[in-house]
């Protein structure tokens, strides 16, 4: 199956000069969607598309009614404060709009004079969560992460028997999802009693962690009772973003049995502001591989596009502290990994599994991949793994070390796709800062 079309031509240039700068992350081959408004005002948020260091106002463009076909219908769905209307239209409309925008933003386009006044510099924009997220599901798709964490609790049997057969997930909290730049208070809750005590502890979390995940935004949904077949599942995915699913490990250790995560997860989750479509990621598709010694998926999870169902996306985690900022030191890189190497289940399988029982998805629903970790040291997607449960602190170049996050620490997650001869495609970055506990 070919996923490429004229929008992927690496030679394409834009009349927006910053989009042609090497490694800017938002070339004309990307065109991710988000929701923004100009900083300092009280105007309504509206959809936009990133191009170079600018944002094209799609709501204002919709008022000009430049197109009358599927692209025009998709554009009119952007005359609102969120992207849900566009998401609900489906793959044909998304692709048509992306093609029309690509042609309009290319060097030599006759629409340049009409579109130039509709640009806002990113430096002058405030971003918001791009969709109304009605539901949020978090999966657990990294075999490396599951094994590393399992070894800390079950050294002789780190993986439970179901892990390689069923994509494990739980229902998360949608209302506490914020956009990059989110600041949140250190959570407070119960912790496991000491060995000689009967009463649990209570107070601010002492083992606060980040989790590097990717977020999957659902586009067109399904009716309750209907399944989404695995070979159609990607057509229900609007695009991907970066997701930090903050975790209170000490609260989690006390509460997670028998029903799984609760207060340890629902206090905050942070996403990047830009949703990169699967169309934009097409040049970075890769074979989705599973070891021959592992169980092969049940038939409802076996897709025909296995040779291209993975995405080659580089992941990078950075940490800044109160001390590093005071000293003017750049954030430290503490881990690097790759999505295709970390995932035991692919994007399409998650959609198919989520709906196999008739569960209804809706436009704007968000799914997390779960923590994405590689096999080697330095590829961990969380501090829990990097510090081996608190036994091996992570050294920072300015003289500090961390086992878990301290107050005023800022975690910065970045994701990008790159290969020779093709412009770098960025998913942006996802920043979040821990504030002291309240009260």
Rounded to whole angstroms, the Cα distance separating 293 from 272 reads: 36
pLDDT at residue number 160: 87
For residue range 330-348, what is the model confidence (pLDDT) as tens digits? 999 999 999 999 999 999 9
Select from 108, 102, 128, 104 the least CA-distant residue to 47.
Answer: 128
Residue range 106-137, pLDDT digits in tens: 999 999 999 999 999 999 999 999 999 999 99
- Residues of the chain with pLDDT > 90, as a percent, come to 93
pLDDT at 1: 64
Q: Is the pLDDT of residue 421 over 70?
A: yes
pLDDT at 236 over 70: yes
What's the sign of the alpha-carbon dihedral 243, 249, 253, 254?
Answer: negative
Examine the pLDDT at 213 and tell me if it is beyond 90: yes
Domains and CATH numbers, the chain: 6-128 (2.30.30.230), 136-435 (3.90.850.10)
pLDDT digits (tens, 9 = 90+) for 65-108: 999 999 999 999 999 999 999 999 999 999 999 999 999 999 99
How far from 118 is each of 11, 33, 109, 147, 349, CA to CA, in Å? 25, 15, 15, 49, 39
pLDDT at 197: 74
Provide the mean pLDDT of the chain. 96
What integer pLDDT is reported at residue 303 of this predicted model? 94
Q: Residue 38 CA to chain centroid, in angstroms?
A: 24
What is the C-alpha to C-alpha distance for residues 47 and 82, in angstroms, rounded to an integer? 6
pTM: 0.97
What pLDDT was estimated at residue 333?
98
Q: What is the mean pLDDT of residues 357-366?
A: 98
Q: Which of 8, 93, 132, 145 is catalytic?
A: 145
Per residue in 131-166, pLDDT tens?
A: 999 999 999 999 999 999 888 878 888 888 999 999
Separation between Cα atoms, residue 143 and residue 131, nearest integer Å:
30
Catalytic residue status for 145 = yes
Question: What percent of the chain shows pLDDT beyond 70?
Answer: 100
pLDDT at position 212 is 98
Q: What local confidence, expressed as pLDDT, does residue 347 receive? A: 98
| Nearest Cα to Cα of residue 274 among 52, 15, 89, 3 | 52
């Amino acid at each position: 199956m070919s996923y490429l079309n004229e929008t992927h031509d690496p030679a394409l240039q834009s009349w927006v000069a910053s989009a042609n700068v090497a490694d800017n992350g938002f070339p004309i081959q990307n065109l991710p969607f988000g929701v923004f408004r100009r900083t300092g005002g009280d105007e309504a948020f509206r959809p936009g598309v990133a191009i170079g260091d600018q944002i094209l106002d799609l709501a204002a463009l919709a008022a000009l009614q430049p197109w009358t076909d599927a692209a025009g219908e998709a554009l009119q769905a952007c005359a609102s404060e969120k992207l849900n209307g566009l998401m609900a239209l489906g793959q044909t409309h998304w692709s048509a709009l992306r093609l029309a925008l690509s042609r309009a933003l290319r060097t030599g386009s006759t629409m340049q004079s009409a579109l130039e006044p509709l640009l806002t510099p990113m430096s002058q924009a405030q971003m918001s969560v791009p969709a109304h997220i009605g539901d949020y599901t978090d999966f657990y798709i990294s075999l490396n992460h599951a094994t590393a964490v399992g070894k800390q609790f079950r050294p002789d049997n780190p993986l439970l028997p179901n892990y390689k057969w069923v994509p494990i997930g739980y229902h998360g909290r949608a209302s506490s999802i914020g956009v990059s730049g989110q600041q949140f208070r250190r959570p407070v809750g119960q912790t496991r009693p000491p060995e000689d005590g009967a009463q649990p502890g209570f107070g601010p979390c002492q083992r606060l962690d980040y989790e590097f995940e990717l977020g999957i935004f659902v586009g067109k949904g399904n009716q309750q009772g209907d399944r989404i077949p695995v070979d159609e599942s990607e057509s229900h995915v609007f695009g991907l973003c970066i997701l930090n699913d903050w975790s209170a490990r000490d609260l989690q250790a006390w509460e997670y049995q028998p029903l799984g995560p609760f207060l340890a997860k629902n206090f905050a989750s942070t996403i990047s502001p830009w949703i990169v479509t699967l169309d934009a990621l097409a040049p970075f598709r890769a074979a989705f591989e599973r070891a021959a010694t592992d169980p092969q998926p049940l038939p409802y999870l076996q897709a025909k596009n296995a040779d291209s169902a993975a995405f080659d996306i580089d992941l990078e985690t950075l940490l800044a502290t109160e001390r590093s900022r005071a000293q003017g030191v750049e954030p430290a890189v503490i881990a690097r990994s790759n999505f295709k190497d970390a995932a035991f289940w692919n994007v399409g399988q998650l959609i198919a599994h989520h709906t196999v029982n008739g569960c209804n998805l809706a436009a704007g629903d968000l799914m997390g991949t779960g923590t994405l970790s590689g096999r080697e040291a330095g590829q961990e997607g969380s501090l829990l793994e990097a510090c081996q449960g608190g036994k091996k602190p992570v050294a920072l170049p300015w003289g500090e070390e961390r086992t878990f996050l301290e107050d005023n620490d800022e975690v910065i997650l970045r994701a990008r796709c790159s290969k020779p001869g093709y412009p770098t495609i960025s998913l942006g970055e996802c920043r979040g800062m821990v504030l002291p506990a309240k009260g």
